[in-house]
Structure 1
Amino acid sequence: MGHRLAGFVIVASALAAGACGDDPLGIPRATSLEWAGSAERTGLAGVPLADSVVVVARGPDGPLAGVVVSFTASAGGAAAPAFTVTNADGRAATLWTPAEGPDSVIATANGPRAVLRGEGTIASASTIHRGRNNYIEYRAGTLPIVVSAPHGGTLLPDEIPDRTAGVTVRDRNTELLAEAVAAALEARLGGRPHLVVSYLHRRKLDPNREIGEAAGGDPRAEHAWWEFQNLIEHAQARVVESHGTGLYLDLHGHGHPIARIEWGYLLDGDALALSDEILDQAPWPTRVSIRRLVADNAATLSELLRGPDALGSLLEDEGFPGTPSDVQPGPGVAPFFSGGYNTRRHGSADGGPLSGVQIEAPFPGVRETAATREAFAAALAKAVDRYLQRWY
């Protein structure tokens, strides 16, 4: 892609104003604000910095607690929370997601203000970006393919409480499967896919859910959630810059009775039970996660779902049965995963630039051992190669 990782250089400056004492509402008023920590950092545009940025409010006698601080990003980035209150050490923190190019975040406290300036950069093809505490990892690539693995992580940090809602069982070995798939795609296509992996156990974070259920309200888990989602979007932006469009693959594991690949295009078993003639008519082509691919090709939706050149059919040719495909057009009455939050958010159902699919792999014969993972990855790489040649 030829992009340079120049770094994210931050320069801090503080402007003091106002008077000491409390305002009429009894809220402490600071005489100055200053940024804590290093004045230089590195980061990626559109991705939260690994550490929160921290401002210190001071009064005549030193750090001041209870000061209301607002944070504003000035050039298209984001700061969250936008409002907070300083702690006993006079500190207030926000999570800063810088925009590409020059950006800054401004802290204000009823008079005093502090400006943190920097420049958001983009990943080069050799970038390996690790988020806060190495919970989330992004390996930049050169192919028009983004691979993610949200549910295979094993890390159980004490700082993040266990989730109490939703599924908490991990998709065993899917993080290893994602790495095998990335290696096989590179061997087959001569370039690397973009790869985003969560190494947090699903008890701590579920990146395939909206943020409330995903993180359970814990700010550290929310930080990791934003990193995961924004790194996928950063990767997709690089694909659009270099190729115009591409393919998003979200890797999962299932334990259903039938050990086959389940391809999730946001269509459930009832929808896949419909005839090709019905599926090819409105509204179905606009409801799927490969909506962009349908629009870009002189093909019907049913061809892309279960025709001979559909992903399921191409992988079936390599010895890995799945549904939907030309052999198994739908799951019938058997349990079936149709695609989740990531497939909708990062596929093209809602107008995104990359078409996407959720790949649900069984444990036996696929995720089970290094040998089965490598065999599946090689077969998937061959199928994806043929798929790209046919539809892209």
Structure 2
Amino acid sequence: MAALRSRDAPAYDVMRVRGDFPILGTRMNGRPLVYLDTAASAQKPRVVIETLKRFYEEDYANIHRGVYDLSQRATSAHDEARRKVQRFLNAADWREIVFTRNATEAINLVAASFARGRLEPGDEILVTEMEHHANIVPWQLVAAETGARIVPAPITDAGELILESFIERIGPRTKMIGVVWVSNVLGTVNPVHELVRIAHGRGVPILIDAAQAVQHIPVDVQALDADFLVFSGHKLYGPSGVGVLHAKAKHLEAMPPYQGGGDMIETVSFKGSTWNEIPFKFEAGTPDIAGIVALGAAIDYVEGLGLDAIAAHEAEMLAYATRAINQVPGVRVIGTAPEKCSVLTFAMDGVHPQDIATMLDLDGIAVRTGHHCAMPLHERFGLAASARASIGLYTTQEDIDAFVRSLHRVAEMFR
């Protein structure tokens, strides 16, 4: 799904953008690298790499503890990155931004700190059949502890959420809802604004997994009004090891700490301890300071290109790739919802996905294979595994042409 660029906006110059990514000049097996695994982890622009290098060379020190100038500089850079995330999400308050290691840890934090204390035997947590394991397993862990159970909402053969069934599954025992914004396998864009409205109309808190959304779709958490939203920095062209939880301040204030240690405390004694203010109450220990600063640089980079322009380019590439792959003999595309972005998941008759990826790799083409951390979804489609090509802001028609040519050779080889 993409918002169209204004007619007055400059054309999206993908070749100039590619020049910002040093790794795209790499050759693999003697061929130019065709990187079609951005949904797993995006490549990094030079500005992010240089920000990491410069911070470690010039500004590194621990934060929130030192009165010396170097520590103050590091603290300032770290805190400014938090405010960049706030502005990127249009959050009402910087205190609503909690740094984690990734989206997975953010969901675990909510499950352990918010949901666990609200659940009783027989209560229900509603998810969908298209969820990533990160939005299933944390809920299973707290369900096992509390006697609650997971309820999956079904999807169509095209990969769309069946809204009526979703609504029907919200009952008096539903205490939490977790929904992916964009499926990492299907590419389906869920109607999250409507889902939040429905959840709140039933008095149920809802978490939105935006790990596959924030790099494609402008996010306004105040307009969305979800109780929680999570994403990972490494999918937003930032470093790995950094994630974000956005949560309404009223929830964070009421939630107990997720982990204990330095910087999340106010006082400590052997008689007991008291906690720091939010968001620091949930940020125990020294964080990935440089990674957080570099995440701020990634946000600056993406915003400089413009999310609408990025989305329009990616939608054009996805449409081009879909038309082309449908001409490859024996290919079945998984996920054909009309509201879709970013990914093209497929199976090929008589060919194991691992063999597909191995053959493509010989041509320098990187795609993902396996269950993509979505085993229940693959079971829904009668598959043990699939292959996935995913598109980023640097993907070109030439990338897709090379990918499809290689797929034709695979189909011919196994015919």
Q: TM-score, normalised to structure 1's length?
A: 0.27
Higher-RCO chain (CA-CA 8 Å, sequence separation at least 6): 2
Q: TM-score, normalised to structure 2's length?
A: 0.26
Higher helix proportion, which one?
2
Structure number with bigger Rg: 1
